[in-house]
Structure 1
Amino acid sequence: MRNAIYLILALLILGCEKENGLTSQIELENLYEIKDDPSDPIKHRVYEIYDRYGVPVYFNDTIGKIFVKRDVTGKDVYRYETLDLAWGFTSYNRLTYTYEYMTDPEEQLKALGIIEDYLKLAAKPLWPFNFFVTKSAKTIDTQDQEKIYEKGSYTINYRTVLMTGDWTDSQIITLPETMMKEMVKSKIMNYTDLLAAFNDVSDKVWYGPMWSELDPHWYDYVDGTTWPRYYFSPAALSDSWFGCNEMAPEELAEFRAAVRAAIGQFGFVSAGRFISVMSPDNTEDDLNGYITEILQHSKEEFEQLWGDSPLVMKKYEILCKIITEELGVEL
């Protein structure tokens, strides 16, 4: 009888050990850690960026695999980890993403150059968790509506910046700064209370009309000069404005100061998106103008240029609070 009991206990122990062998045993590891491969120029460059900035760059949405268990046949079972761009900060978008992967080493090196230029330019709080670079991308929603991501574009997602390749020479130069401005904007949009205060500074009826409709004395400054009326617009504030080469430096500075005073009285630092003779179309265009202006000037320079416009400075202080105190970006 005693031998029978021992036999039963032995079988139970063996059964438990076998069961344990089939139980999932996930080996945790840092899937986002990039390992160096000096023999591969692309992988080595990706590692250099990761080593310097701590930001992974991927050319495939499958970023790694996790050992789960060994099945009854002794075969290893893995779970594959992929980038899921449908996740938002507090929600999940029911989108299906499909990608055409970027495999051309020359294009991959271009992408890595753009990314490194961005990381050099942007403050650390503006760095994404990772970059994912494809040749092209497409999403399909639950209504079978397709959205094609144009080549040479980018989207800022919750954790990932998705970039699609085939960049022009001009995009390679301008994309890092453009992405940084969009990243600042995407961060600012999360601070709804402060953003609402920004949007309330300028009267809603000031958005969209021609400047001369908002101010009957709009052209008074140029009417006393030899310059044509169409010169007097926020376009004059751009270094690419055609009139820059026609005016002496002192005259140009005075002309621009008059333009700033004219648009600043309404709390604006830029014009409409498509035509400079009109005010910004909406608060989003207004915000874009402020982000551009803030990021290209120090605090002292901004105050020197716009300090005589109380509404502009009120908006500036609101955005500065978000950018410096909330985002931790120095201006």
Structure 2
Amino acid sequence: MMKDMEKYIWFILACFLTVGCSDENELKPSSADRDWFVIEDSEDHIGHERFLLYEKYGIPVFVNDTIGVEERGVDYYGNPVMYYCTLDINYTVGAPVTDNGLQSRRYSLLESLEDQLAGISFLDNYLIPALPENMYFNSILLLDSLYEMRMNGWAVERKDLNVYQGTLTLAIGQVKSIAKMTPEEQNKHKGLILATLALKQLDEEQLSDFYMVSYDPVKKLSYYQQMVTPSPSAAMPSAKCEVYGFLDYDSRYYAMNEGKDPSQWIYYTLTKANDLEDFVLAYFQYSEKEFKELYADYPLVLEKYEIIKTLMTDFGYM
């Protein structure tokens, strides 16, 4: 009797489980975990070229800030619910770095298919092969214009950017201009972008030797932001800026010195930041042979170059 009762209980339980399972909604795949940064092949010409680039380098490249669209059911009224995955170039993890001068960062998308293809070609032939192997980007976004609006005193000024490294993407600006460049100009432009990326990797501790080159230990004088004049009592007598280890000087004094002998030049030397930018850019835009031939008569310039070359090669730039 007890065995019959036990069988009966198990039978009832099995019925409940069967009914419960039959009432379940049909399982549907979720789109919540879709990786929008995986580029799939496409019959579209631009889409196919982006796929080939992704296959070759593993870096997703986009020509639109909307990188995916998907229908996700319907709303109360039966209208389709669309999901748009967009790239926010200003997105950051945690609190953003404070920049009191920055008002906004803006951009416009490439409309021309020819410009989009030219941008993809620039990445393939120039930029991506030159990136260090250990440098990683979630994606690259090709743009027409890319600029910041910044406060300068009481005025707001526009500053065009060639590149901006965000958390979600590396934004490449001015691609319409790149499309019109000669191969030599594109190679120089590659150097400009690499220099911008490299400057972000440098910190003050790494640069102490570089800055000390433009320092006179006898006079205990830093050459940065100093006035160079022909005065007999001047701490820094008139001479070409290269004599003091600089590649340039304050541009406001160009016209004043035009046509004059360097022994009569008057100018202000650069800030540390501007001096560093000049040398990092020169590293990427000249071969070592070209640079050393150009500045063979200026030992301080060559000393700074060697320091920058060591830092850049340590970072993986070749």
Tell me the TM-score normalised to structure 1 length.
0.60
What is the aligned length?
278
Q: Answer yes or no: is 1:35 the counterpart of 2:40.
A: yes
State the Cα RMSD in Å. Answer: 4.8
| Amino acid corresponding to residue 85 of structure 1 in structure 2 | I
Q: Give the share of equivalent positions with the same residue, in percent.
A: 20
Contact 2:250 2:269 in 1 (8 A): yes
Q: Among 202, 224, 229, which residue is 2:214 paired with? A: 202
Contact 1:96 1:139 in 2 (8 A): yes
Deviations 1:236-268 (A, max 9, x none): xxxxxxxxxxxxxxxxxxxxxxxxxxx444222
Deviation at 1:274, TM superposition (A): 5.2
Contact 2:143 2:171 in 1 (8 A): no
Deviation at 1:323, TM superposition (A): 0.6
What does residue range 304-315 of structure 1 map to in structure 2 within 5 Å?
A: 311-315=300-304
Contact 2:213 2:304 in 1 (8 A): yes
| Amino acid corresponding to residue 167 of structure 1 in structure 2 | S
Q: Among 118, 136, 143, which residue is 1:134 paired with? A: 143
Q: Which runs of 5+ in 1 are unaligned?
A: 219-232, 234-262
Contact 2:247 2:278 in 1 (8 A): yes
- Where 1:329 maps in the other structure, the secondary structure is coil
Q: How many angstroms apart in 1 are the aligned matches of 2:106 and 2:141?
A: 13
Q: Among 273, 279, 284, which residue is 1:295 paired with? A: 284
| Amino acid corresponding to residue 268 of structure 1 in structure 2 | F
Corresponding residue of 2:219: none
Deviations 1:146-186 (A, max 9, x none): 98675xx5332134123245428765663552343343343
Report the structure number with the largest CA radius of gyration: 2
Deviations 1:251-309 (A, max 9, x none): xxxxxxxxxxxx44422233334555535421122112212332344446655665775
Runs of 4+ in structure 1 over 6 Å off: 66-72, 75-78, 93-98, 138-141, 145-149
Q: Which has the higher helix share?
A: 1
What does residue range 1-331 of structure 1 map to in structure 2 within 5 Å?
A: 2=9, 6=13, 9-10=16-17, 13-14=20-21, 17-18=24-25, 21=27, 25-26=30-31, 28-37=33-42, 39-64=43-68, 80-88=84-92, 91-92=95-96, 100-119=108-127, 122-125=130-133, 129-136=138-145, 153-158=161-166, 159-167=169-177, 174=185, 176-192=187-203, 193-203=205-215, 204-210=222-228, 212=230, 215-216=236-237, 218=239, 233=240, 263-273=241-251, 275-276=253-254, 277=257, 278=267, 280-299=269-288, 302=291, 311-325=300-314, 327-330=315-318
